[in-house]
Amino acid sequence: MYKIVRKEYLANNIYLMDIEAPRVAKSCYPGQFVIVKMDEKGERVPLTVCDYDREAGTVTIVFQTVGASTKMMAQYEVGEYFQDFTGPLGCKSELIDEPIEELKKKNILFVAGGVGTAPVYPQVKWLKEQGVDVDCIIGARNKDLIILEEEMKKVAANTYVATDDGSYGFKGNVNDKIKDLVNNEGKKYDLVVAIGPLIMMKFVCLLTKELGIKTIVSMNPIMVDGTGMCGACRLSVGNEIKFACVDGPEFDGHLVNFDEAMKRQQMYKTEEGRAILREKEGATHHGGCGHCH
């Protein structure tokens, strides 16, 4: 059993929780995720790690209530318990294994869209702890959807906020802000890390490809089971079939087929769509052993 030791309402049905999970906290790194299960009959919910405290033995998760399971999760209070809190799963950010002196030579920009700010935060925080300064854009449709701004300001060299309606910060989407930084402020970036809705990451990648900037994206939004066995997060990366949960969740954004991923995500929501995908994809439908049904 895993105790909830802190709960905070961030914005627009977005919640933050600190969970007492010493083994997970001891082993996890930025970029990885956990699977939360509320009770014996509960759905497995994959959530990226927002933060962790190895000494306190806690892991921070952020989630938005979009379905029955997350709505039920939001009803849990401090002092109550989740039955399962499994992790860390997935691969840690590739930046973790890069030599620190090489990272210090790079100009890195993180682009966070909506709830994607949560998995961006631990990466920026980790880099700050290593003495690496990075920039960060937090984007949302309006001011009420901006989360973790103050936390991000403490760890990023520069934090820029962009809202589609101009209600707060820069008026425009994250791509408009990237263009503003590059064209109007003379910023030069060697790497962009974008995490957010699929459509946002797609257009960020189209822009950064045009600008010649290497880009990493997190495909966590398409995960369902989190172990590669359901086939939900199957995607094409270059000429290869990958699974976000076992091979990722981070990939080279310029190689991800976003159109295919978005179309497939819609099909997977229905039983008929899942049946069509299983028949069409055969042994490559699953990412575990590759042959399970």
**60 beta partners:** 18, 51
Residue 180: CB atoms within 10 A of its CB come to 16
Phi-psi region of 37 (alpha: psi -120 to 50; beta: other; left: phi over 0): beta
Quote the pLDDT of residue 241.
Answer: 87
Q: What confidence score (pLDDT) does residue 230 get?
A: 67
Q: Write the CB contacts of 99 (distance below 8 Å, at least 6 apart in sequence).
A: none
What is the greatest pairwise CA distance in the chain?
54
The domains found in the chain, sorted by start residue, are: 2-89 (2.40.30.10), 97-217 (3.40.50.80), 219-293 (no CATH)
Contacts of 237 (CB under 8 A, 6+ apart): 251, 252, 255, 256, 257
**Cβ-contact 64, 147 below 8 angstroms:** no
* Strand order across the beta sheet in which 214-218 lies: 170-171, 158-163, 135-140, 108-113, 191-195, 214-218, 250-252
For residue 28, the model assigns a pLDDT of 95
CB-based burial label for 136 (10 Å; 0-12, 13-18, 19+):
buried
At residue 267, the pLDDT reads 55
Q: Digits of tens for pLDDT over the chain (293 positions)?
A: 999 999 999 998 999 999 999 999 999 999 999 999 998 887 888 899 999 999 999 999 999 998 888 999 999 999 999 999 999 998 999 999 999 999 999 999 999 999 999 999 999 999 999 999 999 999 999 999 999 999 999 999 999 999 999 999 999 999 999 999 999 999 999 999 999 999 999 999 999 999 999 999 998 877 666 666 666 778 889 989 888 888 879 999 999 999 988 887 675 455 555 555 555 556 666 665 443 44
CB 152 within 8 A of CB 136: yes
* Integer Cα distance of 13 and 109 in angstroms: 27
